[in-house]
Each structure stands twice: as structure tokens, then as C-alpha cells.
Amino acid sequence: MTRTTAHLASLTAFPSISADPNEDLIRWSAGIVTAAGGRIHVLAGAKPGKINMLASFGPQTGAGIVLSGHSDVVPVAGQDWHTDPFALTAKDGKLLGRGSSDMKGFLAACLSAAERADKTRLTRPLHLAFSYDEEVGCLGVRDLLERLQAENFQAEGCIIGEPTAQQVGFGHKGKIFGCFCCHGQPAHSANPALGCNAIGLAAEMVGAAETLQAELLATGARDAAYPFPVTSVHVGTIKGGSALNIVPERCDVEFEIRNVAADDPQALVAQLRARAAEIVARRGQGRIEVEIANEYPGLETSPEDPFAAKILATAGTGPCKIGFGTEGGLFQSRLGLPVVVCGPGSIDRAHKPDEYITQDELDQCDAFLDRVIASLSV
């Protein structure tokens, strides 16, 4: 068993589901860092039991490289696992465990790479940034970046270690998500004219979202690097009504927008709000609020950027754009850093039962990180 695999087994044993504390995992990681000669720069979070970590190796000054990853994982409840999801299990050439691909494999590789590195040869610092609650909207890293921004933190660039099969991701869509909160008037279903059906309002808002999607498909900005080349408008859940014989008073529709770089998500939300107002005005009753729960920016890094070009050459693989979101856009917008996404495993295995990574993938990531760290000694 390699050191990276051993670390992955330890990390997997911490459940660290987004709804739960991650403090034990981060404090364990901090112990590995300090034993390897690293400095803990940040060990704090805005919520009880939730902690970010920024650790540094090498000189205290100079523009180094940030390796960033999240410590949280998605739940396993309701999934048909064939092994214990929180015990790394070798089976049929796979290492199974929740978070093995997304993305504790990369965290384990970061810790073992820092252990192997000859810190005396580093002329610029290596930084490890481990954050919490990425899976529920990149929440934890915002606290970390706020602190680093106040300190005028400088770096050559940042690598987000999400699973890309070691391809180098130069971009991903931004995301904004929220709710169409539809308010009606309750009444007995025998005389629905005395009420206002909130589900009817919600149905019209679902139609408005579908119409907006059709418009974007027809005339919207396109980026052929993505499998779905335009901004997506998606409705995911509908909750409303209390009984069949009651005109529903409330119906909530959760939606998301994943935008290509050329589209302004706030402008699209404004269009949905305008359509909500039109629906209410036409009906002459009811109320629709378009509430935003969270958002994060997209990532757009030029392949000609010197840092990005260096990482592409270091990885020895090809460039790509990825279909899922990361904290990369926040590092880019808050700290002004060039950012790429490159890590072991596959996103196609994430969030599923029997999630896995392979030893070869971990070995490839180890070799990649060794080359990245070697560039800090030049």
C-alpha cells in the first residue's frame, strides 16, 4: 500500500458528509502537515465543527502554487452500496469508498506529495487549501478566501483537484440556484374560484423556465467545448399542496441556471422575475417570488496563461472544459489567480453507490504532483 493509499483509507474513514462537521478530518490532516514540516496558516471556519485549512511548505514569501480540494462528501443514504462506504475497500482492481474520486483521492495525494517533497529545495511555497461544504454551494472556501484576500495573499496559480482523469480543465460554467416561491389563496376545492391555486402559478413558472431554455438553445451564446453548449435552465423539485380537496396556498419550485461565460446569470434571473410579474398581473391574484439561495462564478482561464500552459505541460494530457462546478471561479475572482482543474478519478463515478478510484490513478496523480512541486524548486 502506498502512502497516498494509506492516507486515502484514513480520510475515507471520516464520513464528513456536508451536513456534518469536518473538524476531525481537518485536524488529522493538520497533524500530517505539521509532522511533514509544514506550517498551518489558517485553521478556522465560520460554523461550529466546520474548518478550513491552509497549510504551507517552503519559504514564507514568493508566489507559490495552491493545491485546493474539499473535504466534504455527499450522503450515502438510500444508495445500494456493496461495501462499507466509509471503509476503503480494494475489490476487482478498484478502491471503493465514498469520496474516493470526489475528491479525497486528491487530498490524500496532496498530503503524501508534501511528505515526499524536499522542503529544503523549495524556492517558492507550496500551499494546501482544504475546505468544507463544497458539495452544497462552495460555502466553506468563501471564508478562507475572505481571509486570504484581506492578507493580500499572492500565488502563481491554483490547481483544483476535482476528478478529471488528470485532464487539465480550463473552464466550467457558473451556477445560480434558488426557488420560485408561489403564494396562492386556500379554498375548498368544491369552489376553486374562491381561492388562488399556487400549483397553477408554479406550473406557469416551470413553463417560463422551459421557454427561457428554448430561447437560449435557439439564439443564446454557445461554447462548443461543453457537452451542453449553451446556458442551462433546469427545474429540479416541486413541493406544494396539502390535500386533494384544498386549493393549495403555497408551492415551491427549485431551479438552477448554469451559465456559459458570455451569459449574465443575473440578467437571466431578471427575465424570470419579469415573467413571474406578468403571470401574476394576468391572473390578477397570487404572488410569485424568485429567491436566490446561492451562486458561484464560472471558471474561464486562457490556455495561453503562463501558469495554465505550465500545468498542461506538466500533466502531459489534454485541455478540456468540465461540466461540473468547482471553487475555481471563486479563487479566480477573489484572489485574481489563474486556476485550472486537474485531479485523479472520474466525475462519472461520483455521488453514486460503489464510488471508486484505482491505484493507477492515484499513482499518476502522485507523479503529477511531484512534477508540480519540483517546479517550485527552479
- Structure confidence at residue 93 (pLDDT): 94
Is this model's pTM higher than 0.85 or not? yes
pLDDT score for 44: 84
H-assigned helices in the chain: 3-12, 23-35, 105-116, 140-150, 198-219, 265-283, 306-315, 328-335, 359-374
pLDDT, averaged per 10 consecutive residues of the chain (378 residues), comes to 97 96 96 96 87 95 96 97 98 97 98 92 96 95 95 97 97 97 97 97 98 98 94 98 97 98 97 98 97 96 95 93 95 97 97 98 98 93
Provide the pLDDT for residue 378: 78
The pLDDT score that the predictor gives to residue 160 is 98
CA pair distance 79, 98, nearest whole angstrom: 11
Beta strands per DSSP E along 108-203: 126-131, 155-160, 168-172, 174-183
Question: Residue 120: what pLDDT?
Answer: 87
Letter for the amino acid at 374? A
Active-site pick, 23, 72, 143, 295: 72
First-to-final CA distance of the chain: 31
Instruction: Tell me which of 23, 102, 133, 134 is the catalytic residue.
Output: 134
CA angle 374, 322, 310 (to 5 degrees): 25
CA distance linking residue 45 with residue 258, whole number of Å: 28
Write down the pLDDT at residue 72: 97
What CA–CA distance (Å, rounded) separates 230 from 215?
10
The pLDDT value recorded for residue 276 is 98
Residues facing residue 256 across a β-bridge: 177, 234
Maximum Cα interatomic distance, the chain, rounded to a whole number of Å: 81
Contact 170, 320 (CB under 8 A): yes
User: Going from the N-terminus, what domains does the chain have, and what CATH number goes with each?
Assistant: 3-172+298-377 (3.40.630.10), 174-296 (3.30.70.360)
Is 366 considered catalytic here?
no
Question: Residue 38 and residue 273: Cα distance in Å, rounded?
Answer: 50
Give the integer Cα–Cα distance in Å for 320 and 324.
12
- CA atoms of 201 and 155, how far apart (whole Å): 49
Q: Are 156 and 124 in contact (CB under 8 A)?
A: yes
For 257: left if phi > 0, alpha if psi spans -120 to 50, otherwise beta; the answer is beta
The pLDDT value given to residue 46: 84
Q: Is there a catalytic annotation at residue 134?
A: yes
